[in-house]
Amino acid sequence: MTIEKQQIISDINQFITEELDDVVKPFDESDAYPGEYVQKLIDLKLLDLVDNNEFEAFFKLISRISAKFPALGSILLTQAVYGVLSLKMFGTQEQQERYLVEALKGSNMIGYAFTEETHGSRYWNFDTKAEETPDGWVITGRKATVSNASVSSTLIVGALVENTTGDDELGLFLVETDAKGVLVEEPFEKMGMHGLPVSQVRFDKVFISRQQLLGETLSGISQHDALIDKMRLAISAQSVGIARGSLEKAFKFTRSKRKFGGRLIDLELTQYRLAELITLLEATESFLDDVVKNHLDDKRKISMVKLMSAQMAVDITESVLQLTGGHGYMRNNEIERYVRDAKLLPIYGGSQDTQKITIIEPWLAN
Ligand SMILES: Cc1cc2nc3c(=O)[nH]c(=O)nc-3n(C[C@H](O)[C@H](O)[C@H](O)COP(=O)(O)OP(=O)(O)OC[C@H]3O[C@@H](n4cnc5c(N)ncnc54)[C@H](O)[C@@H]3O)c2cc1C
């Protein structure tokens, strides 16, 4: 481990420990964007870890951030994977100079506009099209749910291009949000992950130059494939963090003295349930560690860990709510918030059933 990397990890860990305790509540209530925390973590060079392929360290930190403030984890993993990594892996030198340098500083937030209302992530049916002109591209279409869109200066947009044989090819296009014809709508009101802004975005004949096709090549399918794998691992790390944050609340509450005598944790049934939950969490975390260390390019294992960790986070947060009873159900105790936040995990980065299709594929071939 280089000294610089060690320093980044230590600075961010210190920030998480000292600055992120009990800050989430007002953001959960107002749904305001936590800009100062986003910028602080970017200033501490969280994104540089991804720029230097230090994924293991990045995922661990996303997990720790998400344990305390899940939506902050979502904002940062979106910028890291869809913004920084896309340009680092596929950007031309000119694109890296124009977009990546500022993305790493947080002065160019980048959203990823892929999913469509009617077609989900099934890009072969996308309604969003890019038409080639002598000078560049004209993008027309609509994207359903774009994280960070309302705070982004740039969007990476998945659009189909009809080639000379009449077939469609997928391109990822760098579109600036102040370009004529781009309309980023007001962020949705969501069940959880308050503070993460997610908007619908419309593209009405948006003209962009030739140089704004990512990598200047129509390789959107393989580019998206590579990015979605890292996104799934980041969401898995976030799942582990959310489950851990929720369990910490369970331990705190069940160990506290209650009005009428004993502590909940002194009941054997509570102990058994907590033992099961912590085992589930640690088993999932070990699997994630193994995939990150040894199978970083294995799509099936990545889907397995995403499937398992997202479900684990939902199960643990719901169990913690049940264990803590009426206390957990109340808004001011921040136990129910973990349940609401966790519900996003089996949806974004590809739904659970999508992961299962990837997992089962080899057995279908023969
Ligand atoms: C808060 C939030 C943030 C998001 N951020 C972004 C973003 O930044 N950029 C972006 O592009 N997208 C984003 N998304 C979209 C997200 O990636 C999709 O919601 C996700 O991929 C699921 O797609 P879908 O919503 O179209 O659901 P669908 O894929 O239509 O799934 C709906 C249901 O059908 C099931 N299903 C789907 N396919 C099959 C199948 N073949 N067989 C059986 N069952 C199936 C699913 O499991 C699910 O239960 C975001 C979504 C949310 C909610």
Enter the DSSP assignment of 258: B
Q: Is the CB of 22 under 6 A from ligand 1?
A: no
Give the CATH number, domain containing residue 26: 1.10.540.10
74 and 173 within one domain: no
The model's pLDDT over 136-145, given as tens digits with 9 standing for 90+, comes to 999 999 999 9
81 and 133 within one domain: no
Final residue before a domain boundary, out of 218, 249, 266 = 218
Residue owning the nearest CA to atom 12 of ligand 1 = 115
**Cβ distance 214 to 91 under 8 Å?**
yes
Give the CATH number, domain containing residue 132: 2.40.110.10
Q: What pLDDT sits at residue 319? A: 97
pTM summary value:
0.96
Q: What pLDDT sits at residue 162? A: 86
Task: For residues 154 and 139, give the distance between their C-alpha atoms in angstroms, rounded to a whole number.
Answer: 14
Q: Is the CB of 347 under 6 A from ligand 1?
A: yes
254 and 196 within one domain: no
Task: For residues 313 and 236, give the distance between their C-alpha atoms in angstroms, rounded to a whole number.
Answer: 9
18 and 80 within one domain: yes
Residue owning the nearest CA to atom 11 of ligand 1 = 114
Paired tokens of 246: 């929720």
277 and 327 within one domain: yes
| Separation of CA 61 and ligand 1 centre (Å) | 25
Orientation angle between helical segments 352-365 and 299-329, nearest 10 degrees: 150
194 and 240 within one domain: no
Q: Which residue has the higher pLDDT, 119 or 75?
A: 75
| Separation of CA 117 and ligand 1 centre (Å) | 9
355 and 238 within one domain: yes
Which residues lie across from 116 on neighbouring strands?
A: 120
3-state secondary structure of 165: coil
Among 330, 165, 336, which residue's Cα sits nearest to residue 242? Answer: 336
Number of domains observed in the structure of the chain = 3
**Cβ distance 60 to 237 under 8 Å?**
yes
Q: What pLDDT sits at residue 1? A: 60
Give the CATH number, domain containing residue 278: 1.20.140.10
Residue 11 φ then ψ, to 5° = -65, -45
Residue range 270-278: mean pLDDT, rounded:
97
Final residue before a domain boundary, out of 61, 89, 105 = 105
133 and 60 within one domain: no
| Separation of CA 7 and ligand 1 centre (Å) | 37
Final residue before a domain boundary, out of 73, 105, 137 = 105
The model's pLDDT over 292-324, given as tens digits with 9 standing for 90+, comes to 999 999 999 999 999 999 999 999 999 999 999
Q: 262 falls in which pLDDT band (50, 70, 90)?
A: confident
The model's pLDDT over 147-178, given as tens digits with 9 standing for 90+, comes to 999 999 999 999 999 877 778 899 999 999 99
Q: What pLDDT sits at residue 260? A: 63
243 and 270 within one domain: yes
- Calculate the average pLDDT of the chain: 95
Q: Is the CB of 150 under 6 A from ligand 1?
A: no
Task: For residues 195 and 147, give the distance between their C-alpha atoms in angstroms, rounded to a whole number.
Answer: 11
Q: How many residues does the chain have?
A: 366
Give the residue numbers spanning the domain of 62: 3-105
For the CA of 193, the closest atom of ligand 1 is 1
Residue owning the nearest CA to atom 48 of ligand 1 = 351
123 and 98 within one domain: no
For the CA of 353, the closest atom of ligand 1 is 47
Q: Is the CB of 317 under 6 A from ligand 1?
A: no
121 and 80 within one domain: no
The DSSP result for 73-131, as a single string, is HHHHHIIIIIIIIHHHHH--HHHIIIIIHHHHHTSS-EEEE--BTTTBT-GGG-S-EEE
Other beta carbons within 10 angstroms of residue 215's beta carbon come to 17
241 and 360 within one domain: yes
Residue range 223-251: mean pLDDT, rounded:
98
